Amino acid sequence: MKLGRNDKCWCGSGRKYKQCHMNFDEKLDEYKREGALVPSHKIIKNKEQIEGIRESAKINIAVLDYIEQHIKAGISTEQVDRWVYDETTSRGGIPAPLNYEGYPKSVCTSVNEQVCHGIPSEDVILKEGDIVNIDVSTIYNGYYSDSSRMFCIGEVSDEKKKLVEVTKKSIEVGLEKVKPWGFLGDMGEAIHNYATENGYTVVREIGGHGCGIQFHEDPWVSYVSRHGEEMLMVPGMVFTIEPMINMGAQEIYTDENDGWTVYTKDGKPSAQCEVQVLVTEDGYEILAY
Ligand code: MF3
Ligand code: CO
């Protein structure tokens, strides 16, 4: 069914179609005719939804700030889990990982050769020289946010320090390519090039995702993609950039016993940083970091 010029826009803004997304849809159709993968209306956020995601993201950021101030050698990842639960719920949020597809904890804590989805445990004590990714996701008022940071515990080796620094910097390199009417592959290729130029590899099987109305939405976001490929970026899209960068080979496997923890096959360290971004009219806005 085609909307009339004076009908209310599909985005829920309450404005007339011709004053809202009509030109946008025409542009989208053009790209589609040329064979581009274009986003569905479902994943384009309106003002109200963006405001909701922004509020959720504020909690996510505050929780990670808290972790940043308290994480140190000698604490268990279970303690990190308690902090995340307490700091999220005291702000009115719900930790999104908790019970998500059977996930048992409130946060993912991935140490050294753990690539992602590490499960907090009393048995995992952070020690000097470890690098750890803390991946926090929040539901607030029905809106989802998702971001993660790397932490170095005490003094870490120069090798690991560089891996963490390159991973952090790769996010900035990717963000430079986030703008409307570009392609996700522009961003993915930039990250991939930057990582490989530094002698690292990039995990292929796990990527980022749309996020906001649900935890994981379209699009799938790869960092081994090519420029001009993957989904077209348009204003109102919200997704995560969360590359996993390996010091050694790209190959990974999932722990058979817990069903979650992902490791590097060669046992070498891996690092990951995650931001949640909104594509704006003229570039991007970081919602969660
Ligand atoms: N936060 C993770 C992500 O970036 C999601 C992990 S799912 C969980 O997508 F259940 F393991 F938490
Ligand atoms: Co994510």
Q: Tell me which amino acid residue 189 is.
A: E
Residue count of the chain: 289
CA distance 18 to 11: 12
Q: Is the CB of 217 under 6 A from ligand 1?
A: no
CA distance 33 to 187: 23
Task: Find out whether 41 and 234 touch, Cβ atoms under 8 Å.
Answer: no
Mean pLDDT computed over 223-236: 97
Q: How many CB atoms lie within 10 A of CB 247?
A: 21
Q: Is the CB of 130 under 6 A from ligand 1?
A: no
Distance 117 CA to ligand 1 centre (A): 6
Please name the residues in contact with 175: beta carbons below 8 A apart, sequence gap of 6 or more.
187, 241, 275, 277, 284, 286
Distance 125 CA to ligand 2 centre (A): 24
CA distance 250 to 196: 11
The yes-or-no verdict on residue 96 having pLDDT over 90 is yes
Tens digits of residue pLDDT in 180-208: 999 999 999 999 999 999 999 999 999 99
Residue 210 pairs in a beta bridge with 217, 239
Mean pLDDT computed over 100-127: 98
Among the listed residues 285, 275, 277, 213, the one whose alpha carbon sits nearest the alpha carbon of residue 64: 275
Distance 22 CA to ligand 2 centre (A): 31
DSSP character for 48? H
* pTM of the full structure: 0.97
Output the average pLDDT for the chain.
97
